[in-house]
Amino acid sequence: MILFTHPDEWKALRSKVFTSAGSVGYVPTMGALHAGHGSLIERAAKENEICVCSIFVNPTQFDRSNDLEAYPRTLSADIELAKRYGCDAIFAPGVNDIYGDKVESLRADYGFLTETLEGAERPGHFDGVVTIVRLLLDAIQADKAYFGEKDFQQLAIIRELVRREQIPTEIMPCTLIRDTDGLAMSSRNVRLSPQGRQNALAIYRTLKEMAERATKVDPQMVQHWGQRHLEQQPGVELEYLSVVYADDFQEASDWSREVRALVAAWVDGVRLIDNMALN
Ligand code: PAF
């Protein structure tokens, strides 16, 4: 396992160490790796000759400074996990290695896609995500980059970034991974108390029940049912629950295209997001 911290080191590694290598699969992360990341790394390792994973808690995508401070940082455990799933190299830059002395994001305005849901609730968040993903993709120059569908809106925005800027890396969407109890895997889950974790399961149960109701009634009725239901669950503070078309995030009014429910809720002071295809 090779560990490097600066984009220039990667250029040297590619020309000196990974000389005969074919395709590079890349998994960008913010660390605190769990089995969900493991599944991305495993797939990237299987589908490519070299698998690179980055671990960088990107300050510009946090809209609350306490969230950035509380974000778990577990580099040595991350390295072990990445190795176990077949990662060949870890890119763990410091803030200066990435941003130099100007730690700021550029505005990313993709219209409705960046304005709705997470964009509305977390001002500046997608500016930070687009800025860092652009920098990371440029640094690694991978053939394929793997992103989880848990951040469903982020994934759509990254695809749009790559399309608009003709970045020569193929974006590979990967299914959301759940724990055995149904909770969507997230680095933030470690901050939940045992009771909080039990409360958070209401999110998964609500989405599942919404999927069972789907197609029998119209999408907005399913949305209203889900909102009312989740609002009544103890310990869960609903931020949004929206039923939208998966391709453009507009409010769904029929079942003619793929429809997804996307949710953000607070449990134990931890912001959780989740989503599920309804049809
Ligand atoms: O999904 C994440 O972990 C982050 O948003 C990403 C894509 C690594 C950018 O910091």
Is 125 among the catalytic positions? no
Say what the alpha-carbon torsion angle 166, 149, 192, 179 is, to the nearest 10 degrees: -140
Nearest residue by C-alpha to atom 5 in ligand 1: 129
pLDDT given for residue 167 in this prediction = 98
pTM value > 0.95: yes
- Which residues lie below 8 Å from residue 1, measured CB to CB, with a gap of 6+? 79, 82, 83, 87, 88, 89, 90
Asked if the model's pLDDT at residue 276 lies above 80, the reply is yes
Asked if the model's pLDDT at residue 15 lies above 80, the reply is yes
Quick: pLDDT tens for 105-154.
Answer: 999 999 999 999 999 999 999 999 999 999 999 999 999 999 999 999 99
Calculate how far, in angstroms, residue 224's C-alpha sits from the geometric centre of ligand 1: 30
For the segment 99-109, the average pLDDT, to the nearest whole number, is 97
Quick: pLDDT tens for 210-242.
Answer: 999 998 999 999 999 999 999 999 999 999 999
Lowest mean pLDDT among 20-29, 39-48, 184-193, 244-253: 20-29
Asked if the model's pLDDT at residue 17 lies above 80, the reply is no
pLDDT given for residue 21 in this prediction = 67
Q: How far apart are CA 4 and CA 141, in angstroms?
A: 15
Q: Give 89's Cβ-side CA count (13 Å radius).
A: 24
CB 251 within 8 A of CB 220: yes
CB 112 within 8 A of CB 235: no
**Can you tell me whether residue 56 is helix, strand or coil?**
coil
Q: How far apart are CA 257 and CA 243, in angstroms?
A: 12
Nearest atom in ligand 1 to the alpha carbon of residue 58 is 10
pLDDT given for residue 75 in this prediction = 97
For the segment 155-167, the average pLDDT, to the nearest whole number, is 98
* Ligand 1 contact, 28 CB (< 6 A): yes
Q: Which among 133, 135, 155 is the best mutation to test ligand 1's pocket, defined by most ligand atoms within 8 Å of the CB? A: 133
Q: Which among 30, 90, 138, 161 is the best mutation to test ligand 1's pocket, defined by most ligand atoms within 8 Å of the CB? A: 30
Q: How far apart are CA 223 and CA 239, in angstroms?
A: 13
For the segment 170-194, the average pLDDT, to the nearest whole number, is 97
What proportion of the chain, given as a percentage, has pLDDT over 90? 95
Which of these, 238, 245, 237, lies nearest to 263 by C-alpha position?
Answer: 238
pLDDT given for residue 132 in this prediction = 98
Distances in whole angstroms, Cα of residue 162 to Cα of each of 86, 130, 145, 171, 172: 26, 10, 11, 8, 12
Domains located in the chain, CATH noted: 2-174 (3.40.50.620), 187-273 (3.30.1300.10)
What proportion of the chain, given as a percentage, has pLDDT over 70? 99
Nearest residue by C-alpha to atom 6 in ligand 1: 29
* Ligand 1 contact, 219 CB (< 6 A): no
| Cα three-residue angle 142-145-146, rounded to 5 degrees | 155
Nearest residue by C-alpha to atom 9 in ligand 1: 129
Quick: pLDDT tens for 22-74.
Answer: 899 999 999 999 999 999 999 999 999 999 999 999 999 999 999 999 999 99
* Ligand 1 contact, 199 CB (< 6 A): no
Q: Give 26's Cβ-side CA count (13 Å radius).
A: 21
* Ligand 1 contact, 93 CB (< 6 A): no
Asked if the model's pLDDT at residue 174 lies above 70, the reply is yes
Q: Over the chain, what is the mean pLDDT?
A: 97
Nearest residue by C-alpha to atom 2 in ligand 1: 29
Distances in whole angstroms, Cα of residue 168 to Cα of each of 127, 212, 237, 247: 21, 39, 41, 22
